[in-house]
């Protein structure tokens, strides 16, 4: 008791003087003031309180620690470098830098062998399971260097494998589900192509078969997209845009194959290999979890990586290599090259290039071309660089440069650079074309000097020719050139006084269209460049777009409602400039041909087919006549069906007219006005004349 009293004195936890007085008063009275009312608050015998602890203490119980397995926050990182103890701290700093962006790391463990060397795997514990899951999803496949690519897994996955039960049950056999044939349109017996139409101000989307007589509807839907549609590079998928994201469609019936949730999406792009999809949304972004630009894997629907929008104003933001192995993005004084499927920076650093303005991938090789403007005494330069070695295989210095534009030939054999240069006085400009022969030794460069501004440049697909439009209105000229094998550039022909501003080559080369679009009233000129002659001149008034079909047999010209509000529709022409079809559509917006995948035939096979084409020409002519006859029969049959439908509708209305005769008689006091001739005596003709106007004409004497 003495010790308790001493503790109370030291801690101040003893009874106060007032409390002692209250206790003395209670003892004096023999009971508390509340003892009299205790009976009123007593519970009856056997009473059970039905109020649960969760109702009374919900806020406190929410903070109660929950029982968890304890390993959902731990990840295992494999393929970590094996290093001696003196380099361990440096490795830890690198690991922290890679994984700390996913969340807070509270524990890290590096197993060591007897000599203190790391064993090649580590354990990391995050503050919560969500961060650990994000680290597994994103960092798996991260390339630390050439020899170390991380394999990241949950610790729980190893635990599950170690504790497999013996009570294994065979999975139930699933019934076979027929998948969509995503190349079904290539099986058409007549090799007709498809194209998509948007009309009705964007409310209607239709997929049409192109035939020589008239298009045949394949599929049409209302409100299929909210903005526009886009075919994938090989024609496998049709992408539609919606407020909540992107939908991909394919197969014979155009069923929905995949959805990608990206609210506010406005733009879409595909990788050339069709494995990846890039989407852009202008909604507010989060720097910690970028969502403005997202790259998706098409087959799985998984989000591979997000990027900030930045100051990029051009679309597409990413430029893809030929096979989709790499993609690059132009930045301020840098080019960032990423690799797939890790989607990490190549060698973990960008290309630092002071003042870089533009870059483009070769269509066939892992080579980029870029140009840099002048900087004080340093000349401008155009550079060809191999990826991933970053070796500069050709550099061309240029002086007095105002602007450059890069153009690759389809096979990557040539690179054209259009250069605008200042005169010595800096008051005017002159122009030239720098033409790189990429396949030749040391990549020689030919120069074509121009006295006039070059407004358009285009290579012949797969060929050695190119076309340019130069000069200003009203003295606009078009010229065709050829890259000779002797190391020179020859001018094939120049056409003067042309009202054109665009060049459109056939996908198979040789044939070319020079067009005056938008503000040039739709002038169309069809050229055969084998001997550089104009095959035909035509016009599609106010035309806004020209699109070749993937085979080069047909070309479509159109007037889009998005550009002009009148005369909307499209024309189909042959490659020789013969008008085949006219289609006027209310509020027509867009026409896009469905691309075809690359041919499985080799170049030698193609040459042999062209060589022996005369053997098959007669067979093709007979088939064309048969198809035209069949088309005529189909047209007649279609008209018969329409006439039959009209006659059925007319008979239906005649029956309704007959059924309503009693009502008409009742309304007309029993007079049958249907039979005018038999009741003619009951009616009298009455002529009514009324004054309209009076006009006085004075006649000169």
Per-residue pLDDT, 612 = 83
What are the residue boundaries of the structural domains of the chain, listed by start? Answer: 71-159, 183-220+455-600, 606-639
pLDDT at 36: 45
Mean pLDDT computed over 264-293: 90
List b or e across 310-324, with b for residues whose CB sees 16 or more CB atoms inside 10 angstroms: eebeeebbbbbbbeb
565 burial type by CB count under 10 A (0-12 exposed, 13-18 middle, 19+ buried)? exposed
Asked if pLDDT for residue 65 goes beyond 60, the answer is no
- CATH topology classification for 71-159: Alpha-Beta Plaits (3.30.70)
Confidence of residue 63 (pLDDT cuts 50, 70, 90): low
Residue 582 has pLDDT above 90, yes or no: yes
State the pLDDT at residue 19. 44
Q: CB–CB of 164/158 below 8 Å?
A: no
- Rounded Cα distance between 441 and 409, Å, is 18
Residues 288-316: tens digit of each pLDDT: 778 899 999 999 999 999 998 876 568 89
- Proportion of the chain above pLDDT 90, given as a percent: 57
pLDDT of residue 339: 93
Which of 401-410, 499-508, 588-597, 639-648 bottoms out in mean pLDDT, i.e. has the lowest?
639-648
**What residues have CB less than 8 Å from 254, skipping those under 6 apart?**
207, 219, 238
Mean pLDDT of 385-401: 94
Nearest to 572 by CA among 563, 583, 587: 583
pLDDT of residue 190: 81
Residue 605, pLDDT above cutoff 50: yes
**What pLDDT, on the 0 to 100 scale, is given for residue 236?**
95
Task: Tell me whether strands 245-250 and 255-261 are parallel, antiparallel or unpaired.
Answer: antiparallel
pLDDT band of residue 44 (cuts 50, 70, 90) is low
pLDDT digits (tens, 9 = 90+) for 236-255: 999 999 999 999 999 999 99
pLDDT at 230 over 70: yes
Sorting pLDDT into bands at 50, 70 and 90, what band is 427?
confident
Q: Which residue has the tokens 């470098």?
A: 81
pLDDT value of residue 284:
72
Residue 556, exposed/middle/buried by CB under 10 A (0-12, 13-18, 19+)?
buried
**Contact partners, residue 12, CB within 8 Å, separation at least 6:** none
Q: Quick check: 472 pLDDT over 50?
A: yes
CA dihedral over 151, 156, 157, 161, signed as positive or negative: positive
Say which residues have a Cβ less than 8 Å from residue 528's Cβ, sequence separation at least 6: 510, 511, 535
Residue 10: pLDDT above 50? Answer: no
Q: Is the pTM of this model over 0.75?
A: no
pLDDT above 50 for 516: yes
Nearest in space to 208 (alpha carbons), one of 507, 642, 581: 581
């Amino acid at each position: 008791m003495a010790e308790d009293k001493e503790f109370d004195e030291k801690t101040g936890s003893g009874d106060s003087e007032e409390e002692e007085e209250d206790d003395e008063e209670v003892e004096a009275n023999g009971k508390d003031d509340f003892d009299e009312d205790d009976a009123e608050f007593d519970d009856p015998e056997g009473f059970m309180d039905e109020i649960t602890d969760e109702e009374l203490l919900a806020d406190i119980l929410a903070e109660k620690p929950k029982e968890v397995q304890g390993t959902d926050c731990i990840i295992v990182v494999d393929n970590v470098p094996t290093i001696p103890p003196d380099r361990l701290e440096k490795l830890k700093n690198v690991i922290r830098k890679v994984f700390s962006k996913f969340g807070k790391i509270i524990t890290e463990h590096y197993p060591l062998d007897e000599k203190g060397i790391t064993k090649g795997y580590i354990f990391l514990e995050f503050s919560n399971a969500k961060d650990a899951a994000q680290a597994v999803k994103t960092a798996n496949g991260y390339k630390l260097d050439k020899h170390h690519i991380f394999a990241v897994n949950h610790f729980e996955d190893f635990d599950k494998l170690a504790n497999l039960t013996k009570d294994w049950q065979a999975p139930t056999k699933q019934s076979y589900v027929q998948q969509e044939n995503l190349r079904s349109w290539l099986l058409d017996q007549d090799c007709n192509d498809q194209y998509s139409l948007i009309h009705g101000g964007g409310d209607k989307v239709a997929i049409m078969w192109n035939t020589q007589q008239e298009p045949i509807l394949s599929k049409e839907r209302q409100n299929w997209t909210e903005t526009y549609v886009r075919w994938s590079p090989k024609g496998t998928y049709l992408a539609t845009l919606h407020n909540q994201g992107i939908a991909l469609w394919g197969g014979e019936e155009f069923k929905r194959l995949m959805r990608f949730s990206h609210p506010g999406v406005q733009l879409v792009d595909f990788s050339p290999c069709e494995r990846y999809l890039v989407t852009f949304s202008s909604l507010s972004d989060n720097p910690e979890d970028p969502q403005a630009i997202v790259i998706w894997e098409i087959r799985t629907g998984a989000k591979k990586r997000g990027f900030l929008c930045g100051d990029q104003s051009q679309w597409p933001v990413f430029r893809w290599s030929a096979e989709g192995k790499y993609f690059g993005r132009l930045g301020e004084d840098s080019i960032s090259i990423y690799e797939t499927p890790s989607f990490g920076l190549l060698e973990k650093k960008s290309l630092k290039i002071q003042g870089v303005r533009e870059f483009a991938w070769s269509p066939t090789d892992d080579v980029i071309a870029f140009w840099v403007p002048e900087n004080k005494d340093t000349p401008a330069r155009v550079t060809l660089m191999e990826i991933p070695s970053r070796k500069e295989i050709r550099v061309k210095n240029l002086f007095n440069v105002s602007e450059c534009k890069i153009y690759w030939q389809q096979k990557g054999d040539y690179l054209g650079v259009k250069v605008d240069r200042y005169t010595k006085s800096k008051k005017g400009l002159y122009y030239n074309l720098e033409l790189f022969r990429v396949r030749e030794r040391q990549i020689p460069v030919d120069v074509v000097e121009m006295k006039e501004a070059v407004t358009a440049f285009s290579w012949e697909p797969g060929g050695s020719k190119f076309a340019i439009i130069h000069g200003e209105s009203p003295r606009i000229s078009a010229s065709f050139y050829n890259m000779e094998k002797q190391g020179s550039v020859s001018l094939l022909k120049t056409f003067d006084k042309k009202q054109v501003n665009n060049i459109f080559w056939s996908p198979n080369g040789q044939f070319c269209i020079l067009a005056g679009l938008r503000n040039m009233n739709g002038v169309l000129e069809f050229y055969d460049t084998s001997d550089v002659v104009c095959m035909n001149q035509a016009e599609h008034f106010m035309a806004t777009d020209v699109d070749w079909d993937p085979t080069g047999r047909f070309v479509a010209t159109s007037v889009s409602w998005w550009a002009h509000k009148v005369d909307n529709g499209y024309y189909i022409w042959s490659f020789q400039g013969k008008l085949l079809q006219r289609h006027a559509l209310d509020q027509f917006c867009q026409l896009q041909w469905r691309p075809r995948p690359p041919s499985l035939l080799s170049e030698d096979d193609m040459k042999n087919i062209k060589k022996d084409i005369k053997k098959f020409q007669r067979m093709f002519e007979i088939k064309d006549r048969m198809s035209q006859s069949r088309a005529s029969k189909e047209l007649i049959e279609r008209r018969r069906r329409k006439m039959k439908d009209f006659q059925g509708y007319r008979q239906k209305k005649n029956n309704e007219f007959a059924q309503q005769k009693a009502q008409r008689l009742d309304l007309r006091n029993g007079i049958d006005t249907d039979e005018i001739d038999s009741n003619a005596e009951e009616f009298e003709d009455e002529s009514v004349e009324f004054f309209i106007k009076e006009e006085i004409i004075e006649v000169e004497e």
